[in-house]
Amino acid sequence: MSEKTVSNKVSISKLFVYALLVIASFLSIFPLYWMFVMATNHNSAINSVPPAFIPGSELVTNFTNVINTIDFWGAIGNSLIVSVVATLGVLFLCSLAGFAFAKFEFKGKNFLFFAILITMMIPPQLGLIPQYIIISKLDWLNDLKAIIIPGLIDAFGIFWMRQYISSNVPNELVDAAKVDGCSNFRIYWNIAVPVIIPAFATLAIIKFMYIWNDFLWPLIVLREESSFTIQVALRGLIDNYVRDNGMILSGTFWATVPLIIVFLLLNRLFIQSLTEGAVKS
Amino acid sequence: MAKTETTLKTAKRSSLSERTKEAISGYIYISPFFVLFAIFGLFPIIFSFYLGFQKWNGLGEMEFVGLQNFKWVLSDEIFWTSLSNTLIMWVLGTIPQLLFGIILAYALNAALIKMKSFFRVAIFMPYVTSTVAVAIVFGIMFNSQDFGLINVILGWFGVDPISWNTSWWGVKIAISTMVFWRWVGYNTIIYLAGLQAIPNELYEAAQIDGATIRQKIQYITIPMLRPIIILTVFTSTIGALQLFTEPLIYIGRSFREEGITVVLYLYREAFTNLSFGPASAAAIILFIIIIILSSINVFVANRIGR
Amino acid sequence: MMKKWLIVIVFSLVALFLAACSDDGDKASGGKSDGDTVNLDFWVFGSTGYQELVDEYMEENPNVKITINEGEMNDMHNNLFTSISAGSGAPDIAQIEVSQVEKFLQAKDQFHNLNDYGAEDVAENFLDWKWAQAQTVDGEFQIGLPTDIGPTTMFYRIDVIEAAGLPTDREELAAEIDTWEAYYEAAKKVKEETGKYMTDTPQLVYNAIRDQQDLQYFNEDDELIMEDTVKEAYDFTTKMIEEDLIGQNELWTPEWGTAMAEGTYATMPGAPGWMVANVKGNAPDASGNWDIASIPEGAGNWGGSFLTVPKESEYPQEAYDFISWLTAPEQQLRSFEIAGLFPSTPDVYENEEFLATTDEYFNGAPTAQIFAEAAKSVKTVYMGVNYAIVDTEISTALVNVAVDGADPQAEWDAAIERITSQLERQ
């Protein structure tokens, strides 16, 4: 009898856990599903009581409207350019700096590393206005450089790379290479880089997501449609004097889908990277 | 003999130069960060402090006005509204987020749950959606009219439509929901990682001692998770203080008082009203607030850590 | 060995940058001429429908390539202002709204003087007052060429007006609602008969009366005089709010837009020509439900713009040629047909063809005639440099009264306080 109650108890609590997870998953996915529903419905179907809950037939029309309203592909292209270039740049610069901090001896090393850590504490808004002025003096307004070059500053990346390199690149290997007369850069390139590929993957995902989703800074320095990233361009959809929710959500949906697909394909790596980065720091 | 000496010498010299070489390489490898940071990080910060004491509309000459800008900002009711809004939305968005994060992580960590990876992916998915997209979708859901999705759902329960975008709590709830939705999964996964790091033996030992589930949570889970909880409180606090995208997209450029945040206030002063002086003053004040809250955070964390 | 690798890396990075930047440079920074083509960036706001005309112009002038960049009105002006103050990022041609033109005139050294390119010769094409708004007091400096003006009328929903027992004929309705007092009475009738609002946003009523005043926020010495000029409009509006005759939507919000399609209110007072495109866009299925009557107590002017050439443009002559073409009477006529932008060239008003324009969407109303009639009573208003700041705060006050049921006088005082503090910072 007691065994039975225990198993009952277990199944009830199990049921409860399942219910919780199902509801949470539903609430997590529903807005994305609804975005798709709206993207395929006419504005009037959205603005009615009750609104549409199943996909409609306006998929193509809505997206055509998006393309007529904003330069969707151009903005996706710009976003890809800034995200990819900034990510590659950060991978290179941060691993190089991290390598130097982990394996080289030079004066003031600890102080400089500490200084880098301190910069992580400063909220980015503090220098926002002068940053804008600098960018305009450099004549970089409406230029993707304005996103890419400041995007190369990544204190976390250096920290992350240093930690990874210190614990994963054996000192013996580095010393052996030195004895063999390898140049410092070759040691980095031939010995460190192959070992730190997993750290690259993690940093790349974090950085790419960050730049891809960034909004405030691009909003300030990109004012011309031809230079918009997708996030700034999406805002153009809701800024229109004419509200067409079907069109708005169509643009938003199609701008979200690529990242979702990549996430679904690489979900393990994604989840691990994005959370590991947070925990380790 | 002489020969050996010279080889020794060259060896010594080359090893010396090896070391300098290494140092030089080191400096070169880390220099990009410092150069870029000097231009796009340090200089702007110093300049912000300078601008905070000037009157400047972007055109024309700057004029030194002493503490005038700070006086303006601090006597501006909207600034205080923006600060209290930010703090309210921090509480509304952060606390449920962390609470649900822990509960969901606990559920995901429970033994014998099938389709774990499906749930994990589903719950994490919102985080992959961009903030702008989240704000747009939820902005339409929180439409104030009868046909807004949330109003329709409330209607099923007999609740009258709420004018979300203009009411004091409506705006805050809508914006906090956006923050909550995007971040809860992220925190869940972080907590999950923390839970999985707790050795099973602890629970087993407790089981033998006859501990209840609640006792296990109270005496094993929570203490072991403490560093991670502190971390998430810390990051979500800083994130909440910098809230910008959601309110901008949702309330638009009316910058209505119900939803204005400190960063939005700063943005409005600088890029809409072109008062760069007060805007810089607001940035400095925000910086000080973040420093204070972070110190409190660290202090409390240290206290608890003991 | 190390050098080799370093060079490879550096080169590939540089190549990536260049790829990124040049790709962007071609598209983004305007005013560059590749070969013989002159690229002109053109910033516009609102529903201008200029694309069609631009395409036409490019066809006729294959050496000119014009890229329209459409933005939200306040955003566009702010971007323009921050760009000209930074000395970079401004377009070749920028549309500036009438309430902002004074402010940009103060920064006139950041613009090309259109008189240098022959603007004086076309001055007589335009309404005198409109022309004068875009020049310095001495007339030496012309910052922009006039596009449209915004003589105000009253749009109304035929179905709601009918249900309220009011005359649906546009002339009879105008006769019935010939004063604001009558408008107020009609509002009560609408409320009683249909339960609907007279209009859905307080700002429209306020704006309509505001635009009828000869002086609005500032006098010509830039002193704040709103207590004597627009307070009455504010009081009238808040009275209607308090009696629940006006809805709570805020102009330009999604709620405001979607309400147009719903027929939840009876009138849209103070609507100028450029509003036509907004209504049609937001309520594409409401054709035939709307009509246009004249506004109580005579038309004012709301909005209308100028086209300017910022100093940064390397092709001021080409830019000028284009804007003088775009603002010429024939093209203004086209803009009216396309987007309802009412011409600022008075010759057009006598044009038979123009006057014969009717609009099926507005129940076949002779739109040109109605707006032309309204245009006659429009007077010059001095708006002042900081018009937009004041107007935003008053809007906030009105919405607060409407939404939160706040005390009108307290909101007014608070708005004045905010305005004063904002003005001090300028």
Kindly determine whether residue A225 and residue C88, on different chains, have CB atoms separated by under 8 Å: no
Same domain, B110 and B30: no
Are B263 and A216 a contacting pair at CB < 8 A? Answer: yes
Whether C75 sits inside 8 A of B274 (CB atoms) is no
Do C403 and C270 lie in one domain? The reply is yes
B57 belongs to a structural domain: no
Q: Is C20 a domain residue? A: no
Q: Would the CB atoms of B252 and C424 count as touching at under 8 Å?
A: no
Q: Are residues C146 and C102 in the same domain?
A: yes
Average pLDDT over residues A203-225: 92
Whether residue C45 is found in the same domain as residue C124: yes
Domain limits at B90? 68-305
Residue B284 has pLDDT above 50, yes or no: yes
CA angle C228, C250, A35 (to 5 degrees): 165
Judge whether C359 lies within some domain: no
Q: What is the pTM of this model?
A: 0.85
**Do residues B158 and B72 both lie within one domain?**
yes
Give domain status of residue B140, yes or no.
yes
Are B13 and B133 in the same domain?
A: no
Residue B106 lies in a domain: yes
Residues of A with CB under 8 A from a CB of C: 44, 47, 74, 78, 81-82, 85, 88-89, 92, 132-133, 136-137, 139, 141-145, 148, 182-186, 189, 223-227, 236, 238-239, 241-243, 245
Quick one: C197 and C342 in the same domain? no
Distance of residue A220 Cα from the nearest chain C Cα, in angstroms: 9
Share of chain B above pLDDT 70, in %: 93
Residue ranges in chain C modelled with pLDDT below 50: 1-33
Cβ-based burial of C34 (10 A; exposed 0-12, middle 13-18, buried ≥19): exposed
| Closest partner CB to A223 (pick from C9, C83, C87) | C83
- Contacts of C83 by beta carbon, 8 Å cutoff, 6+ apart: A136, A141, A223, C89, C90, C310, C312
Whether C360 maps to a domain, the answer reads no
CA distance C162 to chain A (A): 24
Per-residue model confidence (pLDDT) at position B87 = 93
Q: Are residues B21 and B82 in the same domain?
A: no
Quick one: average pLDDT of A261-272?
88
**ipTM of the assembly?**
0.91
Does position B8 have pLDDT exceeding 80, yes or no?
A: no
Chain B residues bordering chain C (beta-carbon distance below 8 Å): 55, 57-59, 72, 75-78, 139-140, 143-145, 147, 163, 165-168, 252-254, 256-257, 271-275, 277-278
The pLDDT of residue C252: 84
Widest distance between CA atoms in chain B:
103
Which residue range forms the structural domain that includes residue C89? 27-150+304-350
Inter-chain residue contact C67 with A226, CB threshold 8 Å: yes
Mean pLDDT across chain C: 88
CA B111 to chain A, closest CA, distance in angstroms equals 9
Backbone angles phi, psi at C407, to 5 degrees: -70, 125
Q: Do B279 and B220 sit in the same domain of this protein?
A: yes
Question: Do B130 and B259 have their domain in common?
Answer: yes
- As given in the structure block, the two tokens for residue A239 are 């800024």
- pLDDT for residue B117: 87
**pLDDT-based confidence at A260, cuts 50/70/90?**
very high
Nearest CA distance, B287 vs chain A (angstrom): 6
Residue C288 domain-assigned? Answer: yes
Same-domain check for residues B124 and B21: no
The DSSP letter of residue C284 is: T
Residue C392 and residue C265 in one domain: yes
Specify if B18 maps to a domain: yes
Chain centroid offset of residue C211 CA: 13
Q: What is the pLDDT of residue B272?
A: 83
The closest alpha carbon to C217, from C75, C420, C378, belongs to C420
Residue C375 falls within a domain, yes or no?
A: no
The verdict on residue B207 lying in a domain is: yes
B205 domain residue, yes or no: yes
Q: Are residues C95 and C178 in the same domain?
A: no
Give me the pLDDT at residue C3, please.
Answer: 46
Q: Looking at the structure, do residues B16 and B100 belong to the same domain, yes or no?
A: no
User: Based on the domain organization, do B237 and B131 belong to the same domain?
Assistant: yes
- Partner B contacted by A171 (CB < 8 A): no
Q: Do A31 and B137 touch (CB under 8 A)?
A: yes
pLDDT digits (tens, 9 = 90+) for C103-133: 899 889 999 999 999 999 999 999 998 999 9
- Pick from C75, C81, C425: CB nearest B278: C425
From chain B, the residues in CB contact with A237 under 8 A are 136
Residue B13 has pLDDT above 80, yes or no: no
pLDDT at res. B61: 81
Contact A34 B149 (CB under 8 A): yes
Instruction: Kindly state whether C399 is in contact with chain B, defined as any CB-CB distance less than 8 angstroms.
Output: yes
Longest Cα pair distance anywhere in chain A, in angstroms? 81
Query: Residue C314 corresponds to which tokens in the numbers above?
Result: 């390397």
Interface of A with B in 52-91 (CB under 8 A): none
For residue B109, give the chain A residue with the closest CA. A17
Domains held by chain B: number: 2
For an interface test with A, which of B16, B33, B254, B262 has the most A Cβ atoms less than 10 Å from its Cβ? B33
Cβ <8 Å between A28 and B245: no
How far is A8 from A13, CA to CA, in rounded Å? 9
The verdict on C163 and C286 lying in the same domain is: yes
pLDDT of A3 higher than 80: no
In a domain? residue B63: no
CA of B256: which chain C residue's CA is closest?
C396
* CATH number where B129 lies: 1.10.3720.10
**Measured in Å, how far apart are chain B's first and last C-alpha atoms?**
65
Q: Given an 8 Å threshold on Cβ–Cβ distance, is B137 in contact with A270?
A: no
CA distances from B234 to B298, B305, C43 (A): 8, 14, 43
Residue C137 and residue C35 in one domain: yes
- The DSSP symbol for A157 reads H
- The answer to whether the peptide bond before residue A50 is cis (omega within 30 degrees of 0) is yes
Query: How many structural domains comprise chain C?
Result: 2
Q: Domain check: are B44 and B182 in the same one?
A: no
Any idea which residue has 């600034």 for tokens?
A: B79
Q: Is residue B22 part of a domain?
A: yes
Claim to verify: residue B105 and residue B39 sit in the same structural domain:
no
What pLDDT is stored for residue B305 in this prediction? 53
Record the tokens describing residue C305, joined without a space. 């713009």
Tell me the CATH number at C32: 3.40.190.10
Domain-embedded: residue C93? yes
B90 and B20 part of one domain: no
Chain B and chain C share a number of CB contacts under 8 A equal to: 73
**Partner-chain contact B143 C253, CB within 8 Å:** no
| Domain contains C98 | yes
